[in-house]
Amino acid sequence: MSEFNAAQLSTLRKRHSKWLAGDGILFKGNCLNLWGKDLRSADLRDADLRSAKLHGADLRTANLCGADLSGANLSGTDLSSANLEGANLGGGEQISSED
């Protein structure tokens, strides 16, 4: 797995936002593809990760508080000890610390 620094991750998130704004038209940006990447302890608080490709990513201890992961490919993703408070995992369901 390869690691990303904060600046690289920020750039990828901006491209993904453009892709989402363009209804998935690729020339307006890129779908976030972090397949198999090492994102341990990444700060993805309030990130718009809708439809992102996160298959097999290592998100252990990542901060995903308030992140929108609806429609994201999370198969094989390691979310152990990740902060998922208020995260949207699709279908309108949110994870709450009170659940």
The token duo for 67 is 């992140």
Mean pLDDT to the nearest integer, 46-64: 92
1-88: which CATH number, 3.40.50.720, 1.20.1050.10, 3.40.50.150, 2.160.20.80? 2.160.20.80
The pLDDT value given to residue 44 = 92
Q: Which long-range contacts (CB under 8 A, 24 or more apart) does 8-15 make?
A: 9/39, 9/42, 9/44, 13/47, 13/48
Q: How far apart are CA 28 and CA 81, in angstroms?
A: 34
The pLDDT value given to residue 28 = 54
34 sits in which H/E element: none
Contact 60, 81 (CB under 8 A): yes
The token duo for 43 is 């700060």
> Is 60 exceeded by the pLDDT of residue 25?
no
Domain ranges of the chain: 1-88
Residue 7's pLDDT band, with cuts at 50, 70 and 90, is confident
This prediction's pTM: 0.72
